[in-house]
């Protein structure tokens, strides 16, 4: 468990480090990093970059070469992981990190830093993938390359670390621009609001965790300003109140053992922090609820259904079709499929062009590295090389995703 992993932020800081890595696969317990890239931004200006290949100590699969353009010859003369990762760790420092599907990069780097230096990666981060699902719902898909085309962002070189960092930065500023926009109904309500010093948030520090469902984040930020409250990043120990989104609050109240809640629970128990639901925040300010339509997926597996109606639409599995293959070590396949559906995803029995994730049991994933690939995996690789939005992940990576 990555107990010291940083917080996922909803703020748009002016200074940050954009990161991206290329790997031999998607499981940090088995696969290796073969390239790292980073771009340091201070006050919205690029001030430094970092880029290096890494010799993984073994040959890489031809599929990875086809995807990234990185060859075994390129890697044969590259430096070893320890020296590169030490410099990379020092380069990013304690900066806020941004990236597309950055949970993947951070989990990989967290495990690698612990392995080589016994030091965790504690940096807070902004995930442009989750934000793009919130602000660019009409995009045909939310892969970095597809969003770049959708938003007319210039892409220098796909699937290379430093180039992807620059693409992510351009996407980040598109998201920042979109976040400042507010629905007309909320803007009208905001104009009618005024608060005096008796409001419960006057002079307090407030943060929002998760993507709000009742009001937009920009509305909540402006209301906080009118309340003379400081809207901060999600640093639990520097806040008086944290408003959890509907989905996050539900998980918190159900006693989720997620590491991200441990700090919050301790501060609540000490009396220094108050956790609010969106509804409670509205009631404290006498704000009407503006309900947003629930989204319920049309499921493809007839025997797996959900009773849930509220979904976190920014979750990486929301609206995605998952196919499982092989025997799972930690749970029955039916239970894993149920989790996907409960998160607003879909499940299938075979790999098609509509499949977004092929999830391999850990033993099957290890076998695939040694060359023993199933027909499902071969088809998935073929679809990915053809440009389809599909990823091949291990059981371990699946567990990381459902715990986000």
CATH number at residue 120: 3.30.420.10
pLDDT of residue 76: 94
Whole-model pTM over 0.75: no
In a domain, 296, yes or no: no
Instruction: State CA 134 to chain mean position distance.
Output: 12
Domain count, the chain: 3
List strand residue ranges (DSSP E) for 210-362, in order.
230-231, 241-244, 274-277, 321-325, 346-348, 357-360
Contact predicate 84/54, CB 8 Å: yes
SS3 358: strand
Give the integer Cα–Cα distance in Å for 387 and 173: 25
Give the integer Cα–Cα distance in Å for 227 and 244: 19
In a domain, 303, yes or no: no
Instruction: State CA 403 to chain mean position distance.
Output: 11
pLDDT of residue 260: 64
Domain housing 124? 16-179
**Are residues 54 and 112 both part of a single domain?**
yes
pLDDT of residue 211: 66
Active site (catalytic) residues: 159
Give the integer Cα–Cα distance in Å for 380 and 352: 8
In a domain, 6, yes or no: no
Half-sphere exposure of 168 (CA within 13 A, CB side): 30
**Are residues 253 and 117 both part of a single domain?**
no
pLDDT of residue 108: 94
How far CA 302 is from CA of 26, 338, 360, in Å, comes to 29, 12, 22
Last residue of a domain, one of 265, 284, 303: 284
Smallest Cα–Cα separation from 217: which of 292, 268, 274, 167? 292
pLDDT of residue 4: 87
Pairing status of strand 16-23 against strand 97-99: parallel
In a domain, 308, yes or no: no
CATH code of the domain covering residue 355 = 3.40.50.10190
Smallest Cα–Cα separation from 165: which of 19, 7, 332, 331? 19
Last residue of a domain, one of 146, 179, 212: 179
Contacts of 152 (CB under 8 A, 6+ apart): none
The angle subtended at Cα 105 by Cα 378 and Cα 150, nearest 5°, is 75
Kindly report the backbone phi and psi dihedral angles of residue 189, in degrees, each rounded to the nearest multiple of 5, phi listed first: -65, -40
In a domain, 8, yes or no: no
How far CA 388 is from CA of 229, 384, 391, in Å, comes to 45, 5, 9
Contact predicate 399/336, CB 8 Å: no
pLDDT of residue 366: 63
pLDDT of residue 404: 65
**Are residues 34 and 78 both part of a single domain?**
yes
pLDDT (tens place) for every residue of the chain, 404 residues total:
788 888 888 778 999 999 999 999 888 888 999 999 999 999 999 999 999 999 999 999 999 999 889 999 999 999 999 999 999 999 999 999 999 999 999 999 999 999 999 999 999 999 999 889 878 888 888 999 999 999 999 887 777 899 999 999 999 999 988 877 777 888 889 999 999 999 999 999 998 887 677 888 788 989 999 999 988 765 666 789 999 887 678 778 877 666 667 888 888 889 999 999 999 999 999 998 754 444 433 334 557 888 777 888 888 899 999 999 888 877 778 888 888 998 999 998 889 999 999 998 866 666 555 556 878 888 999 999 988 899 999 888 898 888 76
The angle subtended at Cα 51 by Cα 46 and Cα 54, nearest 5°, is 160
pLDDT of residue 402: 84
In the structure encoding, which two tokens stand for residue 305, read together? 């259904």
Give the integer Cα–Cα distance in Å for 87 and 160: 19
In a domain, 290, yes or no: no
**Are residues 245 and 170 both part of a single domain?**
no
**Are residues 246 and 328 both part of a single domain?**
no
In the structure encoding, which two tokens stand for residue 357, read together? 């994730």
* Secondary-structure percent of the chain, ordered helix, strand, coil, rounded to 5: 40, 15, 45
Kindly report the backbone phi and psi dihedral angles of residue 252, in degrees, each rounded to the nearest multiple of 5, phi listed first: -65, -45
State the first-to-last Cα distance of the chain, in angstroms, to the nearest integer. Answer: 12
Q: In the sheet that 241-244 helps form, which strands lie side by side, from edge to edge?
A: 230-231, 205-209, 241-244, 274-277
Last residue of a domain, one of 119, 148, 179: 179
In a domain, 3, yes or no: no
List strand residue ranges (DSSP E) for 125-240, in order.
125-127, 205-209, 230-231
């Amino acid at each position: 468990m990555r107990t010291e992993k940083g917080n996922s932020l909803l703020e748009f800081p002016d200074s940050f480090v954009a990161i991206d890595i290329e790997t031999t696969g998607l499981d940090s317990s088995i696969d290796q990093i073969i390239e790292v890239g980073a771009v340091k931004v201070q006050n919205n200006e690029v001030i430094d970059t970092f880029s290096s290949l890494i010799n993984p100590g073994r040959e890489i699969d031809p599929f990875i070469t086809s995807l990234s353009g990185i060859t075994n010859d390129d890697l044969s003369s590259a430096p070893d992981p320890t020296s590169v990762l030490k410099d990379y760790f020092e380069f990013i420092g304690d900066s806020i990190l941004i990236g597309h599907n950055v949970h993947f990069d951070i989990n990989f780097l967290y495990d690698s830093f612990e392995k080589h230096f016994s030091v965790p990666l504690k940096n807070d981060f902004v995930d442009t993938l989750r934000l793009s699902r919130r602000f660019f719902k009409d995009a045909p898909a939310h892969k970095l390359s597809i969003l770049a085309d959708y938003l007319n962002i210039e892409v220098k070189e796909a699937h290379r670390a430093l180039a992807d960092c620059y693409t992510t930065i351009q996407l980040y500023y598109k998201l920042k621009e979109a976040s400042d926009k507010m629905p007309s109904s909320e803007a009208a309500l905001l104009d009618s609001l005024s608060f005096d010093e008796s409001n419960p948030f006057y002079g307090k520090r407030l943060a929002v965790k998760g993507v709000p469902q009742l009001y937009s984040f920009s509305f909540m930020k402006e209301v906080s300003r009118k309340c003379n409250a400081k809207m901060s990043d999600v640093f639990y120990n520097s806040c008086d109140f944290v408003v959890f989104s509907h989905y996050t609050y539900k998980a918190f109240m159900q006693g989720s053992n997620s590491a991200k809640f441990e700090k919050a629970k301790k501060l609540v128990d000490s009396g220094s922090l108050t956790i609010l639901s969106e509804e409670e925040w509205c009631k404290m300010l006498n704000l009407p609820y503006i309900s947003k339509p629930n989204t319920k997926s049309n499921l493809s597996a007839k025997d797996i259904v959900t009773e849930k109606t509220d979904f976190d639409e920014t979750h990486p599995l929301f609206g995605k079709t998952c196919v499982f293959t092989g025997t799972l070590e930690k749970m029955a396949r039916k239970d894993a499929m149920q989790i996907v559906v409960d998160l607003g995803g879909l499940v299938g029995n075979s790999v098609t062009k509509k499949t977004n994730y092929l999830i391999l049991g850990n033993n099957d994933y290890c076998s695939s590295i040694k060359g023993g690939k199933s027909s499902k995996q071969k088809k998935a690789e073929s679809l990915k090389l053809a440009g389809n939005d599909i990823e091949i992940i291990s059981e371990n990576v699946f567990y990381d995703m459902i715990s986000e």
